[in-house]
Amino acid sequence: MKQIGIGLLGFGTVGAGVVAGLHRNRELLSHRLGVELVVRRIADVDLERDRGVPVDRAILTRDARAVIQDPTVDIVVELIGGTGIARALVSEALQAGKPVVTANKKLLAEYGEELFGLAEQGQVDLAFGASVGGGIPIIRVLREGLIGNQVQRILGILNGTCNYILSRMESEGAAFDVVLRAAQEAGYAETDPALDIDGFDTAHKAVILSSLAYGFHVPLSAVTVEGIRGLSGMDVQYARELGYRIKLLAVIRRDGDEIEVRVHPTLVPMGHMLASVNQVFNAVMVQCDLTGDTLYYGRGAGRDPTASTVIGDLADVAQGLVSRQPRHRRGVPRANQTLRVRPLAEITSRYYVRLMVLDKPGSLGIFTAILGRHGVSISAVTQRAVLQEGGHVPVVVLTHAAREAELHAALAEIQAAGVLGEAPTRLRILD
Amino acid sequence: MKQIGIGLLGFGTVGAGVVAGLHRNRELLSHRLGVELVVRRIADVDLERDRGVPVDRAILTRDARAVIQDPTVDIVVELIGGTGIARALVSEALQAGKPVVTANKKLLAEYGEELFGLAEQGQVDLAFGASVGGGIPIIRVLREGLIGNQVQRILGILNGTCNYILSRMESEGAAFDVVLRAAQEAGYAETDPALDIDGFDTAHKAVILSSLAYGFHVPLSAVTVEGIRGLSGMDVQYARELGYRIKLLAVIRRDGDEIEVRVHPTLVPMGHMLASVNQVFNAVMVQCDLTGDTLYYGRGAGRDPTASTVIGDLADVAQGLVSRQPRHRRGVPRANQTLRVRPLAEITSRYYVRLMVLDKPGSLGIFTAILGRHGVSISAVTQRAVLQEGGHVPVVVLTHAAREAELHAALAEIQAAGVLGEAPTRLRILD
């Protein structure tokens, strides 16, 4: 059987998972694929640590360039992460005419245009299935399964750490900080959790998904990013009572010649499939003109799920090498699109607003009048019978669809009116 | 741009959807694929009816063989359905060296071995993405995305008609017959609903999924098939009170050298993702050794969702033609497997049993003793305080895991004991 040589750059958790998976299911995979995938070289700074996977120490090296240049290496797998050395090595491999498989979302979100350009120039594959959704084959689905469709909207729960925290806040009524610490202890959150909880990891993935959906590289700087840091347990509970679950969603949608790419905590109606996605699970719902809504759910991270998707990419690229036809050029971002990224101020949404209102006659009238003046129409108001310190009571307002700019202006005016005990909380509601 | 010619056999609902979809998204698809898909000939018995899609009448013919033999037709799409003429035409196309795209689950479930054999002989693609799951790209995911995985279990809600009926029975507390009639009036059920409600449509799909997962053609006759006809509204409501939703599930699992392939109404715990799949939607949950659980959800039928998947297949096959490398041979059933299909009597499951028990002292003791004697251990018993005609009360028993044969023997003995007003109801519970 024909062999295809793999060179791994980075022998951390996912790298070890790829080696273990290829070893474990070697026969099955060869049988299904008609080609044998063989790991020929592995580069890492640490050659000593035991990864608990079967590997011939002779193929280990500290020299990543030697792996790329090894003539027995047909495909380079980049699992180093980050945008430093990874960027240089991926560029070098592509320029050397070697196809690359990567799980590096940050690299693609920031330097995708440059790297896909190199891949296109060299007519060589750059596969990135594991960069979004871990074990969920969402990239493949968007590039291939839905190829005949116009993508209208993508909604994604793309960060397991955030989803885990939000699930526990809801089920236990616990505060954000408490749950974050527990998540860190359980290994579901990093010591420095900023990338996850401030929404940037989700934003990286949103950029990749929107590029695929719309053939257009969205600069990270154009993405609205609001994380879940400091989300109040009070809002999680009120949302629940109102029939919603709060999720950190990536929202990507097209409206005429504009697209929206945003990441923020969002109230999802309980009956919606995305509301059933709990704990560390991820899911992506894609709305298309032909298929309608489809949803893809699974583990968005972890050694083996991520390795599964890397191996799926390796299978494709290997098949492309055998047929001398790169497969993954499909759906690579093109520069000839003219879509405008809609600024946040111009988006339309329904809103959940919590105001800590001074408990005296007339307070309620003041802010409903202000909202009305800004054209923000109210669909429901609930005054919670819980007096907070300073004589303020929480009032929760659900609005009809309104423009972000109008809501923003209204809230600024309400705040200036002096009836609030703290700044208003504003969350968007999924339609 | 290179053109690939399509010949359609069957210009019914899905055929019209394929023509409409290719027309609507022609530019987008060509841009993404690098090849233009052009419908060159269409065969149907009815050349007159207006399908409401743009088509040059000159390409219509009643002669399906002429379409297959047309030298400008590179790919044949079979959308006739059934196993009569469709079987002959698919064989003929494959033997003529033309790749075939089909949505015909019955044909593949019954004659898959023969047809995949022809495809293999001729080194030509036989693509069947739309045969299972309509707009859900589950076939692609199993063949490609999960290629590096051992499939441990597949659970599928694969028939929209059944799921619609079950959803309405639960939400409205309505009887099966009433909801079936409503579904027929709404166009969600056929005038002759047997294929759907008796589980055979689901069984056809289960055969295709199990063949893909285990590289092994499972004869339809080896599949346990129990439909939802005559399911009692009482059981739907009791299940709900106990925290379950009844779904018609295809269950496909491997255990050592045996596989189970069965279709039956199943109690799904409310918190399970599959319990959230309601109305006409379908979903497939796949459990693998590397990815763990992943789930795929969407519209399992309908013109445009099915057309979307047919177009996805066309894109693959067209790309295979361009690279002279058939892509779809991957995952085609192989005959060299030695798995045994486990007979129903040998499966193990938890059960929901409803007994209409004579309301007199000792009745309860009789059947708990019989269950115990057969090694069926009870996890919960609820006696419903509703006296039915003839002095019987419904008693609902949930069992721990037990072998089907033991449960069957126990229920036969209970029935013989003369304390039941009607035959017991037995449903399986999803673990």
Q: Residue A8, exposed/middle/buried by CB under 10 A (0-12, 13-18, 19+)?
A: buried
Q: Answer for the pair A426, A351: CB distance below 8 angstroms, yes or no.
A: yes
Cβ distance A330 to B34 less than 8 Å, yes or no, reads yes
- Statement: residue A143 has pLDDT above 60: yes
Q: Which pLDDT score, from 0 to 100, does residue B383 have?
A: 85
- Statement: residue B92 has pLDDT above 70: yes
Confidence of residue A334 (pLDDT cuts 50, 70, 90): low
Q: Answer for the pair A164, A190: CB distance below 8 angstroms, yes or no.
A: no
- Statement: residue A331 has pLDDT above 60: no
In terms of CA atoms, which chain A residue is nearest residue B277? A273
Element (H, E) at A348: strand A348-358
Instruction: Considering only the beta carbons, identify the residue of B291, B299, B312 that sits closest to A147.
Output: B312
pLDDT (tens digit, 9 = 90+) per residue, B7-56? Answer: 999 999 999 999 999 999 999 999 899 899 999 999 999 999 999 998 99
> Quick one: average pLDDT of A120-147?
95
Q: Answer for the pair A272, A246: CB distance below 8 angstroms, yes or no.
A: no
CA of A261 to nearest chain B CA: how many angstroms apart? Answer: 21
Question: Which CATH superfamily does the domain covering A3-132+303-322 fall into?
Answer: NAD(P)-binding Rossmann-like Domain (3.40.50.720)
Q: Answer for the pair A421, A358: CB distance below 8 angstroms, yes or no.
A: yes
Per the listing, tokens 């009816």 go with B49
Instruction: Decide: helix, strand or coil at residue B302.
Output: coil
Q: Which pLDDT score, from 0 to 100, does residue A384 have?
A: 75
Separation CA A269–CA A275 (nearest Å):
7
Separation CA A168–CA B421 (nearest Å):
47
B373 touches chain A (CB under 8 A): no
Q: Residue A431, exposed/middle/buried by CB under 10 A (0-12, 13-18, 19+)?
A: exposed
Region at B289 (left for phi over 0; alpha for psi -120 to 50; beta for the rest): alpha
Q: Residue B238, exposed/middle/buried by CB under 10 A (0-12, 13-18, 19+)?
A: buried
Kindly tell me the sign of the dihedral angle through the C-alpha atoms of A63, A68, A73, A79. Answer: positive
B21 touches chain A (CB under 8 A): yes
- Statement: residue B333 has pLDDT above 90: no
B338 touches chain A (CB under 8 A): no
A333 touches chain B (CB under 8 A): no
Separation CA A102–CA A99 (nearest Å):
10
Separation CA B5–CA B101 (nearest Å):
13
Cβ distance B291 to A276 less than 8 Å, yes or no, reads no
Cα distances from B299 to residues A175, A244, B31, B110, B391, in angstroms, run 38, 24, 26, 24, 45
Angle at B337 between CA B334 and CA B341, to 5 degrees: 115
Helix axis angle, B233-241 relative to B160-172, nearest 10°? 70
Best A35, A140, A149, A293 residue to mutate vs chain B (most B CBs within 10 Å): A149
Q: Which pLDDT score, from 0 to 100, does residue A112 have?
A: 93
Please state, rounded to an integer, the average pLDDT across all residues of chain B. Answer: 93
Contacts of A155 (CB under 8 A, 6+ apart): A249, A250, A251, A252, A274, A284, A285, A287, A430
Q: How many CB atoms lie within 10 A of CB B187?
A: 7
Sheet holding A100-102, edge to edge: A60-61, A36-43, A3-9, A75-78, A100-102, A126-127
- Statement: residue A156 has pLDDT above 50: yes
Read off φ and ψ for residue B267, nearest 5 degrees.
Answer: -80, 115
Q: Would you identify the CATH topology of the domain B347-429?
A: Alpha-Beta Plaits (3.30.70)
Please state, rounded to an integer, the average pLDDT across all residues of chain A. Answer: 93
> Quick one: average pLDDT of A271-282?
96
Least confident of A107-121, A224-238, B39-53, B386-400: B386-400
In terms of CA atoms, which chain A residue is nearest residue B22? A148
> Quick one: average pLDDT of B297-313?
97
Separation CA B79–CA B174 (nearest Å):
36
Q: Answer for the pair B114, B126: CB distance below 8 angstroms, yes or no.
A: no
Separation CA A106–CA A400 (nearest Å):
36
Report which residue type is found at B122: G
> Quick one: average pLDDT of B129-144?
96
CA of A25 to nearest chain B CA: how many angstroms apart? Answer: 7
Instruction: Using an 8 Å CB-CB cutoff, list chain B residues near A308.
Output: 146, 148-149, 288, 290-291
A353 vs A329: which has the higher pLDDT: A353
Spell out where A214-346 has E strands: 224-225, 244-255, 258-269, 281-288, 292-299, 340-341
Instruction: Using an 8 Å CB-CB cutoff, list chain B residues near A283.
Output: 295
Cβ distance B32 to A273 less than 8 Å, yes or no, reads no
Q: Which pLDDT score, from 0 to 100, does residue A362 have?
A: 83
- Statement: residue A283 has pLDDT above 90: yes
Among A12, B249, B133, CA closest to B143: B133
Q: Which pLDDT score, from 0 to 100, does residue A330 have?
A: 53
Cα distances from B213 to residues A24, A220, B151, in angstroms, run 17, 39, 6
Least confident of B333-337, B347-351, B400-404: B333-337
Among A212, A129, A211, CA closest to B144: A129
Instruction: Decide: helix, strand or coil at residue A216.
Output: coil
Separation CA A115–CA A91 (nearest Å):
6
B295 touches chain A (CB under 8 A): yes
Q: Answer for the pair B108, B135: CB distance below 8 angstroms, yes or no.
A: no
Separation CA A39–CA A18 (nearest Å):
9
Among A42, A106, A48, CA closest to A77: A42
Least confident of A24-28, A376-380, B88-92, B390-394: B390-394
- Statement: residue A329 has pLDDT above 70: no
- Statement: residue A64 has pLDDT above 80: yes
What are the respective helix, strand and coil percentages of chain B, to the nearest 5? 40, 25, 35
Separation CA B100–CA A191 (nearest Å):
54
Instruction: Using an 8 Å CB-CB cutoff, list chain A residues near B314.
Output: 148
Separation CA A6–CA A419 (nearest Å):
65
Q: Which pLDDT score, from 0 to 100, does residue A332 have?
A: 54
Cβ distance A295 to B294 less than 8 Å, yes or no, reads no
Instruction: Considering only the beta carbons, identify the residue of A135, A291, A323 that sits closest to B294.
Output: A135
Among A158, A315, A309, CA closest to A227: A158
Instruction: Considering only the beta carbons, identify the residue of A145, A150, A293 that sits closest to B137.
Output: A145
B154 touches chain A (CB under 8 A): no
Paired strand residues for B4: B37
Q: Which pLDDT score, from 0 to 100, does residue B335 have?
A: 47
First-to-last alpha carbon distance for chain B, in angstroms, is 53
Pairing of strands A100-102, A126-127: parallel
- Statement: residue B278 has pLDDT above 80: yes
Separation CA B115–CA B329 (nearest Å):
12
Best B149, B155, B214 residue to mutate vs chain A (most A CBs within 10 Å): B149
Best B291, B311, B324 residue to mutate vs chain A (most A CBs within 10 Å): B291
Separation CA A44–CA A66 (nearest Å):
12
Q: Which pLDDT score, from 0 to 100, does residue B168 have?
A: 96
Spell out where B31-134 has E strands: 36-43, 60-61, 75-78, 100-102, 126-127
Q: How many CB atoms lie within 10 A of CB A256?
A: 8
Confidence of residue A335 (pLDDT cuts 50, 70, 90): very low
CA of B268 to nearest chain A CA: how many angstroms apart? Answer: 14
Confidence of residue B413 (pLDDT cuts 50, 70, 90): very high
CA of B339 to nearest chain A CA: how many angstroms apart? Answer: 15
Cβ distance A137 to B141 less than 8 Å, yes or no, reads yes
Confidence of residue A138 (pLDDT cuts 50, 70, 90): very high
Report which residue type is found at B306: T
- How do the domains of chain B map onto residue ranges? 3-132+303-322, 139-299, 347-429
CA of A131 to nearest chain B CA: how many angstroms apart? Answer: 14
Read off φ and ψ for residue B425, nearest 5 degrees.
Answer: -100, 130
Q: Answer for the pair A26, A81: CB distance below 8 angstroms, yes or no.
A: no
Instruction: Using an 8 Å CB-CB cutoff, list chain A residues near B294.
Output: 135-137, 296-299
CA of B304 to nearest chain A CA: how many angstroms apart? Answer: 5
- Statement: residue A167 has pLDDT above 70: yes
Spell out where B144-273 has E strands: 151-157, 224-225, 244-255, 258-269
Instruction: Decide: helix, strand or coil at residue A247.
Output: strand
Question: Which CATH superfamily does the domain covering A139-299 fall into?
Answer: Dihydrodipicolinate Reductase; domain 2 (3.30.360.10)
B270 touches chain A (CB under 8 A): no
Among A31, A311, A147, A323, CA closest to B326: A323
pLDDT (tens digit, 9 = 90+) per residue, B63-74? Answer: 999 999 999 999
Per the listing, tokens 């939000």 go with A166
Instruction: Considering only the beta carbons, identify the residue of A135, A148, A324 that sits closest to B308.
Output: A148
> Quick one: average pLDDT of A281-299?
98
Instruction: Decide: helix, strand or coil at residue B23.
Output: helix
- Statement: residue A218 has pLDDT above 50: yes
> Quick one: average pLDDT of B219-227?
96
A315 vs B333: which has the higher pLDDT: A315
Q: How many CB atoms lie within 10 A of CB B111?
A: 18
A273 touches chain B (CB under 8 A): yes
Separation CA A340–CA B302 (nearest Å):
34
Tell me A15's DSSP state.
Answer: H
Q: How many CB atoms lie within 10 A of CB B36?
A: 17
Instruction: Considering only the beta carbons, identify the residue of B150, B283, B295 that sits closest to A28.
Output: B150
